[in-house]
Amino acid sequence: MTLNATHDARLRSWVDAANLPGTDFPIQNLPHGVFRRAGSAEAFRGGVAIGDQILDMRQALAAEVFPAGLRAAAEAAAQPTLNALMALGPAAWSALRAGLSAVLREGAPEAGRLAGCLVPQAQAEHAVPAAIGDYTDFFTSRAHMLNMGRMFQPTQPALPQFSWLPIGYHGRSSSIEVSGAGLPRPWGQYRRPGQAEPVFAPTCKLDYELELGAYVGPGNERGQPVPLAEAESHLFGVCLLNDWSARDVQGWESLPLGPFLAKNFLTTVSPWIVTLEALAPFRCPLAREAGDPPGGPNLAEGGGASRSGLDLTLEVWLATAASQGQAFRISHSSSRHAHWGLAQMLAHHTENGCNLRPGDLLGTGTQSGPRQGEQGCLMELGHNGQRPVALGNGETRTTLEDGDTVILRAWGVREGFARIGFGDCRGTVLPARER
């Protein structure tokens, strides 16, 4: 993805809130989502975030502000799911982005016709922006791999395959929900410390995982792998993702086949998909250490100028029942610490001929940095309960409690470019349901 006129930091919008310092959604962003007015019986439809507003793409089409060449892409962006838009590919995505930038910028003659097509974000509710056929979660952070290995398998060495391929497992797409969905504390089977037999009870070790998610674009036919050099053309955009986890269940069930009931009860995604093109200013080299192999022959990047990583600031905030809505930042890191990039995840997923389809979701796995305070889950932050995490109101946490609200945030900043944000990805823990 290369820089173009849509990234120009001097661009301003006739939507005043898009020009405010610190906004997640300036005119240089223009992420896609699916929404309707909160509490209404309206049909969900596609929209584009601009400042504190949403451009209703269905109404924008009716206003006839898009030229004939953009009509198909604009119609796809107005649908109740965005799979058709994802299937169109990079040329259509980029052309639509340029068209949206043109009609939303300051002085655009279309402003008068589009002003009535705006819906305040505060008055909207969202749906998952794609019909997600399949969801695969990866393991791309070296720090997370090392930290979790020390806690789950302290006598075992670091995973030798981590440096050669992005490890992954298939998740459950039916339990993916959009930001704001509540999480009843899940039940499961696990073994308590010092006990020989397991119990079946609500989890005592509920945790979050700070991840990025990537939506697949056109995809590939079964039996036709996607080469690494072409993989980015099959990636539509990026969201925030919380892969909630029951750590006690995970520790009991995971070996030898990996996560199952410890993770399939809910995965939360943020409502807005930030296009890969909007993130072009924040590309960076992938994290590597001296002596690291280049990866398998199908995943090795040629030359020394690779910029397959993303340098995005990542944060986790926690509000509790006692804090009365006040949230406290408990983690602060960056996605630049990832060992594997989105393109390598997609290429590796297809190398055996596996077919990916528009709207499939890939998760990066927990994004942790190497230093204390940069961990992407509570189990790592609190060293498996040995060091309680202090909140700003005197409370501490080693695991999530009922009434806790987890808020994930991310944005990119780089001198000479506009700040690009993702909006919140949040969820609240509810009491376990009676059995």
Give the catalytic positions in this structure: 144
C-alpha to C-alpha distance for 190 and 249, rounded to whole angstroms:
5
Q: Would you call the peptide bond into 21 cis, given omega within 30 degrees of 0 as the criterion?
A: no
Residue 113: count other Cβ atoms within 10 Å of its Cβ: 16
106-112, long-range: CB within 8 Å, 24+ apart, which pairs?
106/11, 106/12, 106/13, 106/14, 107/14, 108/14, 110/63, 110/65, 111/14
Segments in 46-88 forming alpha helices (H): 57-62, 71-77, 83-88
Q: Give 264's DSSP letter.
A: T
CA geometry: angle 169, 173, 175, nearest 5 deg: 115
Longest Cα–Cα distance in the chain = 73
**Residues near 94 by Cβ (< 8 Å), separated by ≥ 6?**
4, 277
Nearest to 248 by CA among 209, 210, 198: 198
- Would you state the structure tokens that stand for residue 366, as one six-digit string? 């927990």
Residue 377: count other Cβ atoms within 10 Å of its Cβ: 25
